[in-house]
A and B are shown apart, each in its own frame.
Chain A
Amino acid sequence: MKILVCISKSPDTTSKISFIDNNSKFNEEGVQYIVNPYDEWYALVRALELKEENGGSVSIITVGNSQDEAIMRKALAIGADNAIRIDTDPKDAYSVAMQISEYAKKNNFDMILTGKETINYNGSQVGGMIAEDMDLPFISLASKLEANGNTLKIESEDIGGIQVLEVNTPVVISCAKGMAEQRIPNMRGIMAARTKPLNIVPPIDVESLTKFESYNLPEAKSACKMINPENIDELVELLHNEAKVI
């Protein structure tokens, strides 16, 4: 099975978020980038498990500049066979999806996996966009994936529950918690990653449809009101009369 895993960089989950240039740009100073956790922990690791069970290959792809090579090496260290970088700065989900789709159309993958969303833009858009552009079935928010030849059995999130679906490859799937467990790369993996191929692909000309014009931070919360544990009725009274939530 030939699997393509789309990865994106995102700021480390503990990063302090701030903006520069009149709040128009994310302040990258001191920010450590990681592989977006949904892409790494769920999509990439499940792809590797499927390869270990059934054979095949796992490629990772990202759209970005040469600074993204650190996260690509990380994905290779975890176990991906090769890495592709489409050499352009990502503008919006649509343009990123079109870049990946263009590459995927020429390379006959059985499965294209993404994380369910990135932790920086939380859009949950790229996977569905690739599927539509390639005329492939798309299953989102998958928490379980079993392969039996070309037939996949997938559990995915539905409103108020879980649905069990069956689909044949090729297919695009977005991955959520439950798919796999995080893997820490070992020294052998890290060493091997150094010599694995890192392909740089020129971008196609594609417009973006949306743009983040500015950002702002939430207003500081007013101080927490402390309540004596001996006087819980006071909390109930405040929740009713002040917060008006019960």
Chain B
Amino acid sequence: MAVLVYINSENGITKNAYEVVTYAKKLEEQVIVITTGPKDESSLSKLGEYGAKKILIDSSFSGKDSQQLTRIIGSAVESTNANTIVFSHDTVAKTIAPRLSVKLKAGLISGAIEIPNGDKIKVNVFSGKAFGNVKIYSEKRIISVLPNSIQPEKNQSNCIIEDFNGSAGDTRIKLIDTKKIEGDIPLPEAELVVSGGRGLKGPENWNIIEDLAKELGAATACSRPVSDIGWRPHNEHVGQTGIAIRPNLYIAAGISGAIQHLAGVNGSKTIVVINTDSEAPFFKAADYGIIGDAFEVLPRLTESIKKFKASN
């Protein structure tokens, strides 16, 4: 049996693509990729290094209609006879995977965080406060893998690239415009994140967050009150009602660490907390803590990182 992996290669092949191909390879030997992105053979063939055996490209598709993408992936499932379909749990997958689940009557598991051991698949539930182990009872299954959960593993395969006509059909959604979010690194994909809270006292002080982020090559984020007062844009709000992230490093300055904030960041591998209040609940969830004033600590940390980079 084959596993079909959908990869969004609109903006090139990212680390998430290697993660899902690695995941798929652990499920079945025969890993086939379907993509609608530009036919960039040299970057696509890199997926072969992680175990993909075949890459199908439907270059006819453009636009943003989830129904059309669902039709394309559906016909790829049919022609490859795949029994499992794997996505990266990103904004595109959140639109297509549920549609495909109904179309194929295939159980859908969203946000897998580990390679399955047996027939149960581990996912985050309660916004990262617990894990659930889910079983699919349908013949076909769909799994979307939470970004930054699986370590990509190389597994060289001979990989062929083929054109594919998935018959997207008509669209009812018109794309008017796309706006890139300011900042070089999109927050959901960032491996390093520097985040500020009310302790920073005002938007005019954000330069100390941005300086550190720039030095680290990190994305910037904020707590809910900060985006609610309008100091920072909504798309930077991490937490239970904003976005959930799981970077390798999360540095939080002037954020007390309410349970709702933790729900959005507790998947981070390492957490550094900087706060003047030694009783701030965030220290309980942190790996490293500094009791001190963000206005002094952050510039010092930026300098220290600069020094470290110069000597490494």
Contact = CB atoms under 8 A, between A and B. Distances in A.
A164 B129 CA distance: 34
Interface string A1-45: 000000000010110010100000000000000000110010000
Interface in B156-191: 172-181, 186, 189
A20 B275 CA distance: 36
Interface in A123-139: 123-129, 131-133, 137-139
B83 interface: no
A128 B107 contact: no
Interface centre among A92, A124, A127, A226 (most CB of B within 10 A): A124
A163 B177 contact: yes
B66 A211 contact: no
B269 A164 contact: no
Contacts of B297: 229, 232
A38 B307 CA distance: 44
State the main secondary structure of chain A at its contact with B: mixed
A23 to B, nearest CB: 9
State the main secondary structure of chain B at its contact with A: mixed
Interface residues of A, number: 81
A132 B285 contact: no
Contact of A245 (B65, B108, B192): B192
B70 interface: yes
A211 B266 contact: no
B223 to A, nearest CB: 13
A45 to B, nearest CB: 13
Contacts of A216: 130-131, 133
B13 interface: no
Given A214-B133, A218-B266, A122 B124 contact: yes
A225 interface: yes
Interface string B119-133: 010011111011111
Interface string A108-148: 00000000100111111111110111000111110100000
Nearest to A207: B137
B225 to A, nearest CB: 13
Nearest to A121: B125
B106 A122 contact: no
Contacts of B178: 158, 161-164
A235 B292 CA distance: 13
A14 B129 CA distance: 11
A100 to B, nearest CB: 12
B249 A166 contact: no
Contact of B102 (A129, A227, A236): A129
B97 interface: yes
Given A41-B241, A174-B94, A213-B133, 6 more contacts: A141-B94, A164-B178, A165-B174, A210-B108, A229-B300, A245-B269
Interface of A: 11, 13-14, 17, 19, 37-38, 41, 92-94, 97, 116, 119-129, 131-133, 137-141, 143, 153, 156-168, 174, 177-178, 207-218, 221-222, 224-229, 232-233, 235-240, 243, 245-246
In the A-B complex, list the 9 residue pairs whose CB atoms are closest, starting with the nearest.
A128-B98, A229-B292, A209-B107, A132-B102, A132-B99, A164-B177, A245-B249, A210-B107, A160-B186
